[in-house]
Amino acid sequence: MKLNHGIHLAYCTNVHRGETWAETLAALERHTLPVRRRVAPGRAYAIGLRLGHRAAEELAQPEALAAFRTWLDRHDCYVFTINGFPYGSFHGTRVKEQVYAPDWATAERLTYTKRLFDLLVQLLPAGAAGSVSTVPASFKAFVAADPGRRPAIFANLTACARYIATLSEKTGRDLHLGLEPEPLCLIETSGETVDFFNDWRASDPAVESLLRFVGVNYDCCHLAVEFESPAVALDRMADAGLRLSKLHLSSALRVRPDAEGRRALAAFVEPTYLHQVVVARRGGVHRRFVDLPEALADSEPSQSGDEWRIHFHVPLHAAPGAPFGDTRDHLLGALDWLAARRGACEHLEMETYTWEVLPPAMRLKIEDQLVREYAWTLDACAQRGLADVGVAAQCAREAGA
């Protein structure tokens, strides 16, 4: 939905199963439309569309695309952003580190992302900019095993940026790609993100003129796991001339790693997604673990004051309950930053894709959970002048119904 100051807000449909286009559309019918009727009655409704490689190929067929455009018009919905991070299967199977493959060293990632932009320009409503979010270049372990991937990453990103620039000029649309920093990836901290973009600039003088088309998708969960300050991180990227393509509104799990905390974390061990763990000690990052089971199996004794932050997206609308905390303070800090720098980012997307793997006690009916996430987010935005107070109040009433 459209908020104040040109901002668009959606939830990311990667929370729903759907690898084919038929499955994706069925999820929109089954889940997204009921949410739409509850949170945006009588108003145009934005969809943050997740399209994997197979679904994108199928939607690119002229008849399928024409039918979807008719569907959007019929339901007064629109697409302003596409999640182009997971290339393949994302639910019901082991994803883990394969979510980063194929990475930006490959032709497959480049071809897929170009296709997403081709689709996006045909789905955007009049006057709206379009964004696509993507993997953080690569997974650190992939590049460590094959250092030659790095120049290939830069070359493919340059080719993609040129493609977006040409498409933008041809269509008159503001189009941009957002690399999404994530723990244990090639770019994970704000400092590494700036360094990566500076190295990319150094690889080709033409890159500087292309940076309006490729920027950063700032995921609040990911940067909170790294114990970063949102104001410092966002200022660092902005000062380096990086575009804030999209802001992912998300929250991470945090806990003291004492006996109680470790026992409780067992409920979050699951076989689908990678749940990186970052350990803080004495005010700084002490260690990183690739996945939660590795952290729990580590024999190093914890010290008083240690804190673990876990890359496990938890719902925005409620605290996870003792002994856990969450990182909604980071998200609110990011919204504070945006409120003070209106126009710095127009695309907001709630992303709690982990619904299927949350402990049962944390799960509501998926439509109810999404409505409550809207209510929480709209209230936070309204408090900062980013959303209309009346719209937030109406959604809060619906969430409490």
**How does pLDDT run across 75-90, given as a tens digit for each residue?**
999 999 999 999 999 9
Residue 401's pLDDT is: 53
Residue type, position 91, single letter: H
Query: Which domains, ranges and CATH numbers included, belong to the chain?
Result: 4-251+318-400 (3.20.20.150)
- Spans of the chain below 70 pLDDT: 401
Is pTM, for the whole model, over 0.85? yes
Residue 400's pLDDT is: 87
Residue 5's pLDDT is: 96
| Dihedral angle of Cα 72, 397, 367, 362, to the nearest 10 degrees | 150
Residue 67 near residue 22, CB atoms below 8 Å: no
Residue 277 near residue 300, CB atoms below 8 Å: no
Distance of CA 367 to the CA centre of its chain: 19
**How does pLDDT run across 311-359, given as a tens digit for each residue?**
999 999 999 999 999 999 999 999 999 999 999 999 999 999 999 999 9
Q: Which two tokens stand for residue 398?
A: 């619906």
